[in-house]
Structure 1
Amino acid sequence: MMKKGLFFSLLFASVIALLSGCDAKKSGESSKPRTKIVVGLEGDYTPYNWTTLREESGLTYPFSGQKGNAAGYDVMIAQRLAQELGMELEIKKISWDGLILALQNNNIDLIIAGMSATPERMRSISFTDPYYHNEDTQEIVLVVRADGAYTQATQRSDFSGAKITAQLGTYHVAILEQLPAIQSSALLTDYVALMQSLKAGVIDGYLAELVVGDEHVRANPDFVMIHLTGDQALEIPASYSASAIGMRKDDDALRQRINAILATIPEEERIAMMQVAKDAASQL
């Protein structure tokens, strides 16, 4: 018969081993080498990423678990990283406000979605070095109706009383405060909802990065962009204008590998890749 002391010692050791295994799973770390990298993106943020039925080598990649393909600059970057890492790529379409939660719950490994490393986001996840930084992202514009009352606006005060909004969960929400006396308007979850609300006259306009506003106006002839310049320009911190890859805080080894890969992509090549995405988006 096994002695009680030995029995309880073995039982205690087994429990500790089990708990240690659970902790490792929770942290996202695994003793097994990675063979696949799972990327989450919104699929509605042209030219960074969008959804299409077309297939084009290098530009598109099939979504996991649903019909259609992801396309755009983010998809090009994701494919480049997977190839350099020697891993199989999987891309999941996830709503913007669900991306960080999906990352924290280990449903995805990376957020490659034109996301900026804001202080608020960095409290819950970490980021790689920027993978895109261009003058196009350093200006915030207002997208309004071409037949509306704000097409001649040149000053922030010209929007007094207007119903101006932004996408929920973006740094654009804080920039709304720079427009004095605008009407309170509900924040919307994605750009499809923003564009539909503008078309329907529910709102008078919304904020967008220049590179995104360009695509919206191109696709919607009844929209125009308002550029506020000089001391009237909408101000954004320089760090917000750079797009970085969101990661779990404990994925240090993978972050180092990705940063090393990003460092091999010259700025000129990144701009050229974005131009390819813009050209493809213009054919939608």
Structure 2
Amino acid sequence: MFKTLTATASLIGLSLFAAPVLADTYKIGLSAEPYPPFYSPDAAGEWSGWEIDFIDELCNRLEAKCELAPVAWEGIIPALKTGKIDMIIGSMSITPERAEQIAFSDKYYASPTGIVALKSSDVQPTAEGVEGAYLGIQSGTNQEQYARKHFADTANLKVYQTLNEELQDLVAGRLDAVVADTLAVQTFINSETGQSCCEYRGAVASDAELMSEGIGVGLRQGDTELKERVNAAIEAMRADGTYEDITAPYFDFDIYGG
């Protein structure tokens, strides 16, 4: 299920990254479950999406070949720590708990946690606003942690392996709402199905212990040189307009954040 990405460096990449290549090939870990519009496979197992384009450009600038290595989300940090993969680039939020186990690059996009609800419900993104509601949450995410901390006393939580499964049950009326990454549900919200049944009710209140500082590349704590080069590549993409070029086909607003 690996897909080899191109590794032809741009002129900018050549000038910025003249240091020796740290590895011939990097295995890039991402969730085996689809996460559109960031990444998803087609029927032939070929992956596409915003994050796939970002990975391709990052690896170009690192002058390295990269292979996508889909991993069950709950096992992705252990896979990094044991060397089965070399980087996590799969919409992983930078949180204090994760930062105790692995290192993170600078953020490469940011997205708040929010609630999408059935139009027929009166769900709002507060503990009082979800009272008695059936809420979908994805296993192993910071949205799950947030919901368990703030909503478990008032709502009925149902855990899913993928966001797509949550949204399917929401459309079917088996859930009143889902707690999810706001950018990840944009495609659904803007779809004909999403617009007919559901609406975005807003972001949840901040929680410094759980809320993300943004989405970063996950790295082993000892890979300091690779971290520096990844950070430099992200900064260069932002500076030369490549980041905007990658983003434009997927989003018509700024996903990097302030």
Quick check: TM above 0.5?
A: yes
- CA offset digits 1:4-34 (Å, max 9, x no partner): xxxxxxxxxxxxxxxxxxxxxxxxxxxx951
Q: Whose helix fraction is larger, Structure 1's or Structure 2's?
A: 1
Partner AA of 1:276 in structure 2: P
Report the CA distance between 1:155 and its aligned residue. Answer: 6.0
Indicate the residue corresponding to 1:166 in structure 2.
137
- CA offset digits 1:52-101 (Å, max 9, x no partner): 25xxxxxxxxxxxxx42111221112111211122112112222222212
Give the 3 Å change call, closer, same or farther, for CA 269–224 of structure 1 in structure 2: farther
Indicate the residue corresponding to 2:12 in structure 1.
none
Give the 3 Å change call, closer, same or farther, for CA 258–228 of structure 1 in structure 2: closer
Partner AA of 1:195 in structure 2: L
- CA offset digits 1:204-232 (Å, max 9, x no partner): 21112221222122343344233247xxx
* Aligned structure 1 segments of 4 or more residues deviating by more than 6 angstroms: none
Partners in 1 of 2:200 and 2:65 — Cα distance? 43
Partner AA of 1:205 in structure 2: A
The residue correspondences of 1:257-276 to structure 2 (distance < 5 A) are 257-266=229-238, 269-276=242-249
User: Size of the alignment, in residue pairs?
Assistant: 226
Partners in 2 of 1:248 and 1:223 — Cα distance? 42
Report the CA distance between 1:186 and its aligned residue. Answer: 3.1
Indicate the residue corresponding to 1:45 in structure 2.
35
Report the CA distance between 1:203 and its aligned residue. Answer: 2.4
Give the 3 Å change call, closer, same or farther, for CA 130–239 of structure 1 in structure 2: farther
Alignment gaps of 5+ in structure 2: 1-20, 253-258
Which of these residues, 131, 134, 137, is aligned with residue 108 of structure 2? 131
Say what the alpha-carbon RMSD is for the aligned residues: 2.7
Indicate the residue corresponding to 1:25 in structure 2.
none
Q: Could you tell me whether the CA contact under 8 Å between 1:143 and 1:226 is conserved in 2? A: yes
Partners in 1 of 2:213 and 2:36 — Cα distance? 16
Give the 3 Å change call, closer, same or farther, for CA 37–154 of structure 1 in structure 2: closer
Which of these residues, 152, 164, 168, is aligned with residue 196 of structure 1? 168
Report the CA distance between 1:251 and its aligned residue. Answer: 1.4
Indicate the residue corresponding to 1:27 in structure 2.
none
Partner AA of 1:37 in structure 2: Y
Q: Could you tell me whether the CA contact under 8 Å between 1:103 and 1:248 is conserved in 2? A: yes
TM-score by length of 2: 0.76
Partner AA of 1:257 in structure 2: R
The sequence identity of aligned pairs, in percent, is 22
Indicate the residue corresponding to 1:234 in structure 2.
205
Check if 1:206 corresponds to 2:186.
no
Check if 1:145 corresponds to 2:137.
no
Alignment gaps of 5+ in structure 1: 1-31, 54-66, 280-284
Q: Which has the larger radius of gyration?
A: 1
Q: Could you tell me whether the CA contact under 8 Å between 2:115 and 2:125 is conserved in 1? A: no
Partners in 1 of 2:158 and 2:151 — Cα distance? 15
SS at match of 1:120: helix
